[in-house]
Amino acid sequence: MPSYGDLQNKIVLLTGGANGIGAATVAAFSAQGSIVEFCDLDPSAGKRVQADNPGSRFTRVNIANEADVVKWIAGVIKRRSHIDVVVNNAAVDPRIPLEKMNSARLDELVAVNLRPIFITARESVPHMQRGSIINVASITFHTAPANMSAYVATKGAVLGCTRSLARELGPRGVRVNTVSPGWIMTDRQLRDYVDADVKKLIKRSQCIPDLLQPGDIGEVILFLASDASRAITGQEILADRGWAHS
């Protein structure tokens, strides 16, 4: 892993840090000496991640509840006084055919995948002196898989939000970018979706066939948080080993 000296002691706010990409990203920042304030709904996994990563602090937060998010960030500010990096990682990705989609399920997806991005930005930016916001989207916006239209719609909205926030927050010195991962071998994906046929699809679709791991995305997020990416804002990085390219 590259070393980013400017991330040492930086205050990082991260959603969905108990498992998968989020947990790997907490570990990546911790290895850089950052102070990571992360939230999740899974207390047992969150406490394990906290125990494994010095400088991290877990808080149970329902990010679909605005009051929960506001209270959490207020607590971070009280403890730390400011925020340097925001990583909007938490999301749900159900497979729902169109005929089974209803407004309640759509609202649930928006409440988790999109709305918290606005809330975390609104609550954090007044306490950021320059800094970086990283939103996690998905290559599904580019590949458009079946039975995921609502999920893909929320991730497309994340890209639009990133572009507009980058323009709005640029005068404050705050950069805003998106990371769009490919199919990542998280424990949940391996348990629920990735079988032998899916692995063949992934290897056939990617330019480089190696399966992507959560830590691969954590390192891209580190780059976007660091001064090494100071020239980059309003952009999407496709971290998919070339799937969308092909």
pLDDT at 122: 98
pLDDT at 1: 79
Give catalytic residues, as residue numbers. Answer: 151
Instruction: Give, in order, the Cα–Cα distances in Å from 80 to each of 6, 16, 30, 121.
Output: 17, 20, 16, 17
pLDDT at 192: 85
Q: Which residues contact 2 (CB under 8 A, 6 or more apart)?
A: 219, 222, 223
Q: Report which secondary-structure segment, H or E, holds 236.
A: strand 236-239
- Give the torsion sign (CA, 40, 42, 43, 49): negative
| Structure-derived torsion over alpha carbons of residues 64, 14, 226, 134, reported in degrees to the nearest 10 | -20
* pLDDT tens digits, one per residue of 75-130: 999 999 999 999 999 999 999 999 999 999 999 999 999 999 999 999 999 999 99
pLDDT at 246: 54
Q: Tell me, rounded to whole angstroms, the distance of Cα 113 from its chain centroid.
A: 10
Low-confidence ranges of the chain (pLDDT < 50): none
Q: The tokens of 54 are what?
A: 């010095």
> Distance between terminal CA atoms of the chain?
27
- Enumerate domains of the chain plus CATH numbers: 5-184+213-239 (3.40.50.720)
